[in-house]
Chains A and B, each alone.
Chain A
Amino acid sequence: MLNKSWLLSLPLALAVGSAWGGDFSDMFTFNGFGTAAVVKTDTNKATYVETGQSAGSDGDLYFKTDSKLALQGTVTPTAWLSGTVQVLAADKVNDNLSPAIEWAFVKFKPLPGLSIRAGRMALPSYLVSDSRHVGYANTWLRAPDEVYGQGVFDTFTGADIAYQRSIGAYSLTFGVLAGKTAVDVLEARGLALMINGRNVRGYSVALDAGLVTLRYSHVTVDVEPQLGQFILGRAAYSFSSIGATLDHHNVVAQAEFIAQHAGATEVDVDGWYTLGGYRLGNWLPYAMYAAGQRPSGPSANNPLFMSTGGVPLPSQSKHTISVGVRADLIKSVDFKLQVDRETTFPTGTPFIDVQPGFDDKAFVYSFAVDFVF
């Protein structure tokens, strides 16, 4: 595990520096963000993972659950044209922190308030889909899995159009997108199980009213699970999210509800959370409750199962009570402590490798350092 120590030393190095990214000239900018975190549970009868991960804490300190590092470069040759590439190293699948290109897109701004992007981008399924990995931008230590673990796709390749308009003190943003997507579910013995998404379509509406922001989005995809060369089935997939944030003086609140439908299963996938916090100087204590349900099984959120016929799958539900504190004590760096009480019924995500005698409940203790540069 020697190779991971550099991630821990980064925030200190960055805290000493003061610039916001590197500004090589007016044309090139270079930024990054990351999280160095440890997680520990109170049980050795199960392993705690986030959706998609295959390894985690089984009672010992574990590093890879939330740790990540991203670098982003932007080139802006003219005021109306820019190109952005973001590389993210995070454990999304297969217990692996190797870096991958998260986004790469070109952005045109033909008119004030109007932007058109083409390339690979975050699929805006959630209230904070495009900044969910940026710990520094969020109050919580990790996005609640009951909501943010439910969507099958994180990114898409295609184009989107956003139009922003100010109405008095309010700001309205409309977005539409179209493209295709794919996600790796499993890679074992040379066989890859992936899910292709065709005809990705979506729209979003966001209202920023100063103290409060509201957002609704809806995405539809034609999904095709594929094992090696073989297409295993087809299903229609849709994902909706409605969310709100409040930031007024010392009060911070955020809530979101999502619903997903896929294929012929009669089990709904849905989830919601609500978070409240109160700023005390540089400290922000918060509490969060999250609940969600999805089909149960080894790859519970997998449209493979949803597209294989009309067999209703059993449902798994889960909820989490969290308390935590965020501390902004150093420029561009925050520290977070969070304690979660995870409960599932029956056993399933976030617990894998479950041993006899596990009662489907665990405390999860996490400490994270988030940084931006």
Chain B
Amino acid sequence: MNHANMKTIAATLLGAAAFCTWAASPAAGDIVVIVNPKSAIASVTADQVEQIFLGKTASLPGGGNANPVDQTEGSPLRDDFYQKAAGKTSAQVKAIWSRLVFSGKGTPPKALGTSADVKKLVASDTNAIGYIEKSEADATVKVVLTLP
């Protein structure tokens, strides 16, 4: 490949990027952070949720290994959650996790496709912590924080 070609490719990439816009996530309703009903945790703060979901701690408030459960990357609920809990865009979250993943310090939370899947996992694991739409919450899980 000659230099002129590389210049063209670079220009094309930048051009493609500039025209590629991402729709802002629609203003969703309240999001609730949920744990297993048997968990000793009564409530958590947004700071604690941020620490767990951004890999700053591997422990639950009050002890025990945290098993965070995420929603699928790119879903409006997920983008909304990280904006409300941590004030971060999905790109910032990805950059933070890439730092941890490629230094061998951590693995991002497992991501599940639907809130029903998240509820199901949280209902079966006393160390799990997840988030769903407030309207999806029911007696199978315990709400420990509401993010308006």
Contacts and interface: CB of A to CB of B under 8 A. Distances in A.
Interface of A: 1-2, 4-5, 8, 11-12, 18-20, 29, 31, 33, 38, 60-61, 63, 70, 72, 74, 76, 79, 84, 86, 103, 105, 107, 109, 112-113, 117, 121-122, 128, 130-131, 133-134, 136-137, 164, 166, 169, 171, 208, 210, 249, 282, 327-335, 367, 369, 372
Contact of A72 (B73, B74, B102): B102
Nearest to A2: B1
Contacts of B63: 112
A310 B18 CA distance: 57
A131 B13 contact: no
A258 B9 CA distance: 38
A166 B1 contact: no
Contact of B102 (A137, A249, A328): A137
Interface stretch (B30-38, B93-101, B140-148): B93-101
Given A86-B102, A328-B91, A372-B94, A18 B47 contact: no
A303 to B, nearest CB: 26
B99 A131 contact: yes
Contact of A134 (B1, B7, B21, B99): B99
B102 A31 contact: yes
B51 interface: yes
B59 interface: yes
A372 B103 contact: no
26 contacts: A4-B1, A5-B1, A8-B1, A11-B13, A20-B108, A29-B107, A33-B98, A61-B3, A70-B102, A86-B104, A112-B59, A112-B63, A112-B64, A113-B57, A122-B103, A130-B103, A133-B102, A134-B99, A136-B94, A136-B98, A137-B98, A249-B87, A329-B18, A331-B74, A332-B94, A369-B10
A329 B51 CA distance: 26
B101 A136 contact: no
B56 interface: yes
Interface residues of B, number: 47
A61 B99 CA distance: 29
B126 interface: no
Contacts of B104: 74, 84, 86, 103, 105, 107, 117, 121, 130
Contacts of A112: 58-59, 63-65
B102 A335 contact: no
Contact of A18 (B45, B65, B73, B95): B73
Contacts of A29: 107
B59 A113 contact: yes
A29 to B, nearest CB: 7
B102 A369 contact: no
A234 B73 CA distance: 52
Nearest to A133: B102
A84 B65 CA distance: 21
Contact of A166 (B10, B22, B59, B95): B59
B90 interface: yes
